[in-house]
Structures are given as structure tokens and as C-alpha cells.
């Protein structure tokens, strides 16, 4: 199982996350493309850090929502979603090419990610955007009980991800952040990772065991505590 992390989310003089510290411990860097966070300078620095540590790079596009950090849903037409994805992914792909690098995948951010999982029309638009991009790219989405439905509809290769520190519901969806138990504490996070690695299951909000197939595990590098947690998670995964 790979480790992925949302990175490159600083903007101008505003700094978000400890990208340099978490990069050595992950396998995949999901790099913001400017619509929810990030800018050309941040994108370049993040790409160079990923290159230094041999980390796969993926685009992390979002709705155009800097003020809301991409966490507010927008009602867009199909072609508008396709265009905003091509625009953002294309920008990162071009900057990567300058560094002799190539994108491997795309992971939508925030509300766009949630809408893709919940609304067929949004998934279809994202799916079409990836299928018509200028190079083959995998699409990262949430590992749920509906995995076969997404596989059947996909026009590109899919990567299913689980979250190290998020509580799952019985249907495989993430517990909304508004719920007090949505985010796991340190010990709960490590226990969830161990269950995923050893048994391929998570314990849901109601206490049930839920089988999940995950290709990659999302971790965070927002602060020193989060980076220390990533190091512990790295030690749990098979070498």
C-alpha cells in the first residue's frame, strides 16, 4: 500500500503544511494546482522536492475557490468541470515536464472530490476529462463499497484510497467533518492503518468491520505531530 499526501498548498507568503519534512516518507504527492491553493512558485518547489525524493506526482485540482480552500461545492455544467480539470492538470503537467518529470495520476480536492463520489454526473465529467487529457493518467478516488460501480464506468485506470485518520461510515463514505468522531486521534489512526494492512478492513462509526480494497493511503503533513504520525505509519507498512 502506498502513502499519498496533499502538498503544495501554500500560497504567496502564506505557508500551509510541512511539505519538506513529510516528503521523504511518502510515495505520492498530490500537488495543488492554483484553484484552491498553490501558485507557480509553490508548484515548482514541490515538484523539485518530489523529484529529490523519488516521489510520484499527481495533480490535485479543485473548484475555483481560494477563499474557501476548495471545500465549497459549485454547480457547474459538465463541460465547465472538464475545462477546469484540463486547465489545472495541464498547468502542473507542463511545469513537471520542464523538470523532466511526468504526472502519474489525478486526485480531485475537497468539494470536487466529494461531489465526484456522490453525484454520477460529476464523476462522469471528471472521468471524461481524464480520458481526453493529452497523456494517460490514473484517477484517485475513495475506496468504498461501490468500487465495482466506479470501475465499470471508468474510462481510465482507477486508484482507490483510504484515509489513515478519518472515520468511515457503514456505506464506506467518510464521516462528515462536522461530526465529533470524524477525525481519529493518534492511537486510533495507527490502529486503523494496522487493520487495513493486516485484514483489509476498517471499523466504522457504528462499530462494524468494513472490508475495503485500498491501493493507497492518504496521510497529512500539516504540522509536526502529523509528520511524526506519518513516520509511524510508514513503519507499519510492509517494506
DSSP 8-state code for residue 66: T
Say if residue 239's pLDDT is above 80.
Answer: no
Structural domain includes residue 171: no
Summarize the confidence of residues 94-99 as an average pLDDT.
Answer: 97
User: Which pLDDT score is estimated for 48?
Assistant: 97
Structural domain includes residue 57: yes
Q: How many domains does the chain have?
A: 1
Structural domain includes residue 41: yes
**Tens-digit pLDDT profile for residues 169-219:** 988 888 888 888 889 999 999 999 999 999 999 999 999 999 999 999 999
Structural domain includes residue 59: yes
Say if residue 238's pLDDT is above 90.
Answer: no
Residue entry with cell 470524524: 182
Summarize the confidence of residues 145-152 as an average pLDDT.
Answer: 91
Predicted model pTM? 0.94
CA gap 133, 129 in Å, rounded: 6
Structural domain includes residue 123: yes
Structural domain includes residue 10: yes
The number of CA neighbours under 13 Å toward the Cβ of 73 is 10
Structural domain includes residue 209: no
Residues 6+ positions from 48 with CB-CB distance below 8 Å? 99
Here the CATH number for the domain that contains residue 39 is 3.20.20.370
**Tens-digit pLDDT profile for residues 106-124:** 999 999 999 999 999 999 9
Structural domain includes residue 180: no
Q: Kindly calculate the radius of gyration of the chain based on its CA atoms and give it in whole angstroms.
A: 17
CA gap 57, 61 in Å, rounded: 13
User: Which pLDDT score is estimated for 146?
Assistant: 86
CA gap 156, 127 in Å, rounded: 7
Question: Facing residues of 58 across strands?
Answer: 30, 105
- Do residues 175 and 167 lie in contact, with contact meaning Cβ atoms separated by under 8 Å? yes
Give me the domain span that covers residue 29.
Answer: 2-163+214-222
- pLDDT more than 70, % of the chain: 100
Amino acid at each position: 500500500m502506498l502513502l499519498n499526501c496533499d502538498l503544495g498548498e501554500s500560497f504567496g507568503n502564506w505557508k500551509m503544511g510541512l511539505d519538506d519534512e513529510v516528503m521523504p516518507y511518502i510515495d505520492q504527492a498530490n500537488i495543488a494546482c492554483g484553484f484552491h491553493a498553490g501558485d507557480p512558485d509553490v508548484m515548482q518547489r514541490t515538484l523539485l522536492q518530489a523529484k529529490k525524493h523519488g516521489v510520484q506526482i499527481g495533480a490535485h485540482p479543485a473548484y475555483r475557490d481560494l477563499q474557501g480552500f476548495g471545500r465549497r461545492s459549485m454547480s457547474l455544467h459538465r463541460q465547465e468541470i472538464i475545462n477546469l480539470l484540463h486547465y489545472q492538470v495541464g498547468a502542473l503537467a507542463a511545469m513537471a515536464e520542464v523538470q523532466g518529470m511526468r504526472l502519474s495520476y489525478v486526485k480531485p480536492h475537497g468539494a470536487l472530490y466529494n461531489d465526484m463520489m456522490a453525484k454520477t454526473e460529476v464523476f462522469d465529467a471528471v472521468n471524461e476529462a481524464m480520458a481526453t487529457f493529452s497523456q494517460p493518467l490514473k484517477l484517485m478516488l475513495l475506496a468504498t463499497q461501490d468500487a465495482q460501480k466506479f470501475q465499470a464506468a471508468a474510462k481510465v485506470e482507477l486508484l482507490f484510497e483510504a484515509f489513515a485518520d478519518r472515520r468511515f461510515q457503514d456505506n464506506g463514505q467518510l464521516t462528515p467533518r462536522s461530526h465529533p468522531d470524524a477525525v481519529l486521534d493518534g492511537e486510533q489512526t495507527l490502529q486503523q492503518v494496522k487493520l487495513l494492512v493486516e485484514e483489509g478492513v476498517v471499523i466504522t462509526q457504528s462499530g462494524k468491520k468494513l472490508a475495503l480494497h485500498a491501493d493507497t493511503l492518504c496521510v497529512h503533513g500539516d504540522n509536526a505531530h502529523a509528520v511524526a504520525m506519518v513516520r509511524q505509519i510508514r513503519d507499519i507498512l510492509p517494506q
